[in-house]
């Protein structure tokens, strides 16, 4: 009798565990937004001081992206878009670099140096920290095409965003 009760309890327990599901609900975000998106962050200064070697800025997505989405960040470098992370040699052992991270709700771009950022010349500060322009491309999690994402124009073309409006993001205060 004890074996039947134990077997029945185990069966009920397994059945109860199998019925647990987690569902996420996302609103339809309109034209091409549930597939991929592109945002521009124009004339932004990376003004949040993380420490003496790192400055950053954070921007909020207009609506949360999907958990499965990926984010690419490109920096405008005079005549072309350059995929971040990217490093620049200033001469000698002085190096600066850009990097980023993101969540479903925002993207944060970092500028860091291997020396205190306050030691940048005015020209270097203007070139690397002040009034920077970035493009943020949201790549859907189901995107299967293998490609080199370092070419911004090829990435936009592959995602079907050539004629899509470039949106703006609000800087996080």
pLDDT of residue 166: 87
Is the distance from CB of 167 to CB of 65 less than 8 angstroms? no
Instruction: Spell out the domain ranges in the chain.
Output: 2-171
Is the distance from CB of 158 to CB of 151 less than 8 angstroms? no
**Range of 34-38, 95-99, 157-161 with top mean pLDDT:** 95-99
**What's the pTM value of the predicted model, to 2 decimals?**
0.77
Report whether pLDDT(61) > 50: yes
């Amino acid at each position: 009798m004890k074996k039947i009760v134990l077997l029945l309890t185990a069966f009920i327990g397994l059945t109860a565990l199998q019925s647990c599901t987690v569902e996420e609900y996302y609103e339809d975000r309109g034209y091409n937004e549930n597939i991929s998106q592109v945002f521009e962050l124009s004339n932004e200064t990376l003004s949040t001081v993380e420490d003496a070697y790192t400055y950053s800025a954070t921007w909020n997505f207009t609506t949360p992206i999907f958990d499965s989405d990926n984010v690419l960040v490109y920096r405008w470098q005079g005549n072309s878009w350059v995929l971040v992370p990217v490093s620049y040699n200033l001469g000698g052992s002085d190096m600066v670099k850009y990097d980023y991270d993101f969540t479903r709700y925002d993207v944060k771009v970092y500028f860091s140096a291997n020396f205190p950022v306050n030691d940048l010349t005015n020209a270097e500060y203007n070139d690397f920290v002040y009034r920077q322009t970035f493009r943020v491309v949201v790549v859907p999690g189901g995107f299967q095409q293998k490609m080199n994402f370092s070419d911004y124009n090829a990435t936009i073309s592959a995602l079907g965003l050539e004629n899509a409006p470039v949106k703006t993001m609000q800087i996080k205060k």
